[in-house]
């Protein structure tokens, strides 16, 4: 019995340990990618993928994986943090934010399928906008207190930090939730593959044109996001939203297109308003379409069940009268 109990303990905690290591590696990799676009203080970016990765891991793997978030945040912040206490505080804030977002979403009965409008709204307002207030406030505050950031730049850095964390949730978390449910496609017509490829290429091309043009053409990306949500729901909307956000951030970092000729705060407001609008459009519309399709399927299933009940109750009469006559038509002659 002791050996069996020991094996169970090893399997249970060994699996949890492997998950924590995987979360740490994913968080660190996402952070390295995010730091490529740092704009403020050497560690504040307009898109912080680790927050989306952390929240997705908590939703899919459970709350026990939170040490992986802490370890990943420690590995990425230790080399760039101003002091050891500052790093500790930033790591604590980076851990608490996704954990609080996870608890808020669980409280609301969040479905990882994102197949209801309430799930999309919960992810936007509770998971992204409310939960990420912790990391941005704590992180920016400690940078100012440690002298690593001028006090006059507090609100600029705070806005970038907050919206960057929120965008990580809005853009990265839905994509990871979609990939979690991905299965080998079977029986998909070739034209659907062609449509998906054209959609991705078209989104990337129009995003490059809209964000690098001196004329304000940012609105051109929305037809592609609507196309993605209508035809592919979250599976199409999530990658298209990510493409648009990455291209827009790159244009802002290069100082081209509609993001040039302004102060840092003005550029951040324009960028994050655009990214937030695109993410909200894609996420909410895909959730509405998914919920509508599910409701239609339920209605069709109920109608089929009612038809079967009618056939069982009066088989002879039902067969003679089936299908029922349309309005204004006479029932068929039983002879």
Specify the pLDDT at position 27: 95
Distances (CA, A) of 137 to 133, 143, 178: 6, 10, 30
**What is the 3-class SS of the chain, one letter each residue?**
CHHHHHHHHHHHHHHHHHHHHHHHHHHHHHHHHHHCCCCECCCECCCCHHHHHHHHHHHHHCHHHHHHHHHHHHHHHCCCCCCHHHHHHHHHHHHHHHHHHHHHHHHCCCCCCCCCHHHHHHHHHHHHHHCCHHHHHHHHHHHHHCCCCCHHHHHHHHHHHHHHHHHHHHHHHHHHHHHHCCCCCCCCCHHHHHHHHHHHHHHHHHHHHHHHCCCCCHHHHHHHHHHHHHHHCHHHHHHHHHHHHHHHHHHHHHCCHHHCCCCHHHHHHHHHHHHHHHHHHHHHHHHHHHHHHHHHHHHHHHHHHHHHHHHHHCHHHHHHHCCCCCCCCCCCCCC
Task: Give yes or no for residue 211 having a pLDDT over 80.
Answer: yes
Q: What is the rounded CA–CA span in Å between residue 256 and residue 247? A: 11
Which distant-in-sequence residues (6+ apart) come within 8 Å of 281 by Cβ? 222, 225, 226, 229
Confirm if 172 and 101 have CB atoms less than 8 A apart.
no
Question: Which of 125-129, 183-187, 210-214, 320-324 has the highest mean predicted lDDT (pLDDT)?
Answer: 125-129
Q: How far apart are CA 318 and CA 267, in angstroms?
A: 68
Residue 12 pLDDT exceeds 70: no
pLDDT for residue 273 is more than 60: yes
What's the pLDDT tens digit per position in 278-289? 988 999 999 999
Q: Can you give the pLDDT at residue 315?
A: 58
Taking only the tens place, the pLDDT of each residue in 239-269 is 999 999 989 888 887 778 777 777 777 777 7
Q: What angle do CA 67, 45, 145 make, to 5 degrees?
A: 75
Structural contact between residues 234 and 286, judged by C-beta atoms closer than 8 angstroms? yes
**Residue 127: per-residue pLDDT:** 93
Tokens of 23: 């979360």
Q: What is the pLDDT of residue 335?
A: 47
- How is residue 330 written in tokens? 């006479």
Cα-based distances in Å from 5 to 2, 8, 15, 64: 5, 5, 15, 21
Name the average pLDDT for the chain: 84
pLDDT at residue number 269: 78
Provide the pLDDT for residue 251.
84
Q: What's the half-sphere exposure (Cβ side, CA atoms, 13 Å) at 264?
A: 16
Q: What percent of the chain has pLDDT over 70?
A: 86
Q: Does the structure show a pLDDT above 70 at 161?
A: yes
pLDDT at 311: 80
Spatial separation of the C-alpha atoms in residues 204 and 243, rounded to whole Å:
6
Q: Is the pLDDT of residue 70 over 50?
A: yes
Query: Per-residue pLDDT tens for 23-65?
Result: 999 999 999 888 877 655 455 677 889 999 999 999 999 999 9
Largest distance between two CA atoms of the chain: 95
% residues pLDDT > 90 (the chain):
43
Per-residue pLDDT at 4 exceeds 50? no
Distance CA 290, CA 301 (A): 17
**Can you tell me the mean pLDDT for 76-87?**
86
279 burial type by CB count under 10 A (0-12 exposed, 13-18 middle, 19+ buried): buried
pTM over 0.95: no
pLDDT digits 0-9 by tens, 90-119: 999 999 999 999 999 999 999 998 888 899
């Amino acid at each position: 019995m002791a050996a069996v109990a020991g094996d169970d303990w090893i399997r249970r905690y060994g699996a949890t340990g492997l998950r924590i290591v995987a979360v740490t590696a994913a968080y660190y990799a996402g952070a390295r990618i995010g730091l490529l676009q740092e704009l403020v203080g050497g560690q504040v970016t307009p898109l912080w993928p680790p927050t989306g990765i952390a929240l997705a891991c908590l939703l899919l793997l459970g709350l026990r994986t939170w040490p992986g978030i802490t370890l990943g945040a420690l590995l990425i912040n230790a080399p760039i943090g101003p002091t050891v206490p500052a790093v500790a505080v930033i790591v604590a804030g980076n851990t608490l934010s996704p954990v609080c977002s996870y608890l808020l979403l669980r409280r609301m009965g969040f479905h990882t399928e994102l197949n209801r409008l309430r799930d999309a709204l919960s992810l936007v307002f509770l998971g992204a906008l409310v939960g990420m207030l912790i990391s941005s406030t704590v992180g920016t505050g400690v940078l100012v207190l440690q002298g690593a950031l001028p006090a006059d730049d507090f609100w600029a850095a705070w806005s970038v930090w907050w919206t960057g964390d929120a965008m990580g949730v809005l853009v990265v978390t839905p994509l990871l939730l979609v990939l979690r449910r991905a299965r080998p496609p079977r029986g998909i017509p070739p034209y659907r593959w062609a449509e998906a490829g054209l959609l991705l290429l078209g989104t990337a091309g129009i995003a490059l044109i809209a964000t690098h043009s001196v004329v304000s053409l940012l609105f051109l990306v929305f037809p592609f996001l609507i196309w993605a949500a209508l035809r592919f729901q979250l599976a199409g909307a999530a990658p298209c939203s990510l493409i648009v956000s990455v291209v827009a951030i790159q244009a802002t970092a290069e100082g081209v297109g509609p993001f040039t000729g302004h102060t840092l705060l003005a550029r951040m407001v324009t960028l994050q308003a655009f990214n937030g609008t695109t993410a909200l459009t894609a996420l909410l519309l895909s959730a509405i379409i998914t919920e509508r399709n599910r409701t239609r399927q339920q209605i069709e299933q109920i109608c089929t069940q009612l038809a079967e009940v009618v056939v069982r109750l009066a088989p002879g009469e039902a067969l003679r009268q089936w299908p029922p006559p349309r309005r204004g038509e006479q029932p068929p002659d039983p002879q």
